[in-house]
Chains A and B, each alone.
Chain A
Amino acid sequence: MSASYDLVVIGAGPAGLSAALTGSELGLRTLLLDEQARVGGQIYRNVDAVTPTAAQLLGADYLHGRTLAQRLANAQLDARCGALAWNIDRDLTVTVLHEGRTLQVRTSQVIAAAGAMERASPLPGWTLPGVMNAGAAQVALKSSGAVPSGRVVLAGAGPLLLLVAVQLLDAGANVAGLVETAPARNRWDALPHLPAALGAPSYLAKGMRMIRRLRRARVAWYREATSLRVDGTERAEALSFTAGGRSQKLAADVVLLHHGVVPNTQISRLLRAEHDWDTAQLAWRPRVDAFGETTHRGLRIAGDAASIAGALAAEASGALAALGAAQAIGRISEAQRDAKALPLLRQLATQMRIRPFLDALYRPPSWLLQPADETIVCRCEEVTAGRIREMARLGCQGPNQTKFFSRCGMGPCQGRMCGITVTQILAAELGRTPEEVGAYRIRAPLKPVPIAAIATLAAQGEEAVPEEAA
Chain B
Amino acid sequence: MFKRIDLPPGETPPAVEISVDGRRVEARAGDTLATALLCAGVVPLRHTPVSGRPRSPLCLMGVCFDCLVEVDGMQNVQSCLVEVRDGMQVKLQLGARHVEATS
A and B pair up: yes
Instruction: Name A residues whose Cβ lies closer than 8 Å to a Cβ of B.
Output: 35-37, 42, 46, 49, 51-54, 57, 82, 117-118, 127-133, 135-136, 139-141, 143-150, 171-172, 234-235, 253-254, 264, 379-382, 411-413, 416-417, 447-448, 450
Query: What residues of chain B lie closer than 8 Å to A417, measured between beta carbons?
Result: 58, 63-64
Given A234-B44, A235-B44, A417-B58, 16 additional A-B pairs, CB 8 A: A35-B62, A37-B83, A53-B5, A53-B6, A117-B59, A117-B61, A118-B61, A129-B1, A133-B60, A136-B59, A139-B35, A144-B2, A235-B54, A264-B63, A380-B50, A416-B63
Inter-chain contact A132/B58, CB cutoff 8 Å: yes
Query: B36 interface residue, CB < 8 Å from A?
Result: yes
In the assembly, what is the distance between CA of A149 and CA of B39, in Å?
9
Which B65-93 residues have C-beta < 8 A from chain A?
A: 65-66, 68, 74, 76, 78, 80-83
Q: Give the distance to chain B from A413, nearest Cβ to Cβ, in Å.
A: 4
30 A-B pairs with CB atoms under 8 Å apart are A36-B62, A37-B82, A51-B11, A51-B13, A53-B6, A127-B55, A129-B54, A130-B1, A130-B56, A132-B56, A132-B58, A133-B60, A136-B60, A139-B61, A144-B36, A146-B2, A146-B4, A148-B2, A150-B1, A172-B6, A234-B44, A234-B54, A235-B44, A379-B55, A381-B50, A382-B50, A411-B65, A413-B65, A417-B58, A417-B63
Q: Give the distance to chain A from B81, nearest Cβ to Cβ, in Å.
A: 6
Query: What residues of chain A lie closer than 8 Å to B50, measured between beta carbons?
Result: 380-382
Query: B15 interface residue, CB < 8 Å from A?
Result: no
**A51-B11, A53-B8, A145-B5 are contacts. A118–B45 as well, Cβ < 8 Å?**
no
Q: Secondary structure of the A side of the interface? A: loop
Inter-chain contact A145/B4, CB cutoff 8 Å: yes
Residue in contact with A171 in the complex, picked from B5, B28, B62, B81, CB distance below 8 Å? B5
In the assembly, what is the distance between CA of A132 and CA of B56, in Å?
8
Query: B98 interface residue, CB < 8 Å from A?
Result: no
For chain B, give the interface size range. 35 or more
Query: What residues of chain A lie closer than 8 Å to B62, measured between beta carbons?
Result: 35-36
Q: Give the distance to chain A from B16, nearest Cβ to Cβ, in Å.
A: 11
Inter-chain contact A146/B55, CB cutoff 8 Å: no
Q: Give the distance to chain A from B71, nearest Cβ to Cβ, in Å.
A: 12
Query: B7 interface residue, CB < 8 Å from A?
Result: yes
**A35-B81, A448-B76, A450-B74 are contacts. A130–B8 as well, Cβ < 8 Å?**
no
In the assembly, what is the distance between CA of A419 and CA of B85, in Å?
35
Q: Give the distance to chain B from A150, nearest Cβ to Cβ, in Å.
A: 8
Q: Give the distance to chain B from A170, nearest Cβ to Cβ, in Å.
A: 9
Query: What residues of chain A lie closer than 8 Å to B13, measured between beta carbons?
Result: 51
Inter-chain contact B32/A144, CB cutoff 8 Å: yes
Query: What residues of chain B lie closer than 8 Å to A127, measured between beta carbons?
Result: 53, 55
Query: What residues of chain A lie closer than 8 Å to B55, measured between beta carbons?
Result: 127, 129, 379
Residue in contact with A135 in the complex, picked from B59, B65, B76, CB distance below 8 Å? B59
Q: Give the distance to chain B from A69, nearest Cβ to Cβ, in Å.
A: 15
In the assembly, what is the distance between CA of A46 and CA of B50, in Å?
35
**A52-B11, A450-B74 are contacts. A139–B60 as well, Cβ < 8 Å?**
yes
> Which residue of B is nearest A37, CB measured?
B83
Residue in contact with A129 in the complex, picked from B43, B51, B61, CB distance below 8 Å? B43
Inter-chain contact B81/A129, CB cutoff 8 Å: no
Inter-chain contact A146/B51, CB cutoff 8 Å: no
Query: B48 interface residue, CB < 8 Å from A?
Result: yes
In the assembly, what is the distance between CA of A380 and CA of B83, in Å?
24
In the assembly, what is the distance between CA of A131 and CA of B59, in Å?
10
Residue in contact with A143 in the complex, picked from B8, B11, B30, B66, CB distance below 8 Å? B30
Q: Give the distance to chain A from B12, nearest Cβ to Cβ, in Å.
A: 8
8 closest Cβ pairs, A-B complex:
A129-B56, A136-B60, A144-B35, A412-B65, A149-B3, A139-B60, A146-B2, A413-B65
**A132-B57, A379-B64 are contacts. A254–B39 as well, Cβ < 8 Å?**
no
Query: B20 interface residue, CB < 8 Å from A?
Result: no
Inter-chain contact A144/B57, CB cutoff 8 Å: no
In the assembly, what is the distance between CA of A52 and CA of B56, in Å?
29
Q: Give the distance to chain A from B20, nearest Cβ to Cβ, in Å.
A: 16
Query: B38 interface residue, CB < 8 Å from A?
Result: yes
Query: B26 interface residue, CB < 8 Å from A?
Result: no
Inter-chain contact B45/A129, CB cutoff 8 Å: yes
Residue in contact with A54 in the complex, picked from B5, B32, B59, CB distance below 8 Å? B5
Query: What residues of chain A lie closer than 8 Å to B65, measured between beta carbons?
Result: 380, 411-413
Inter-chain contact B1/A149, CB cutoff 8 Å: yes
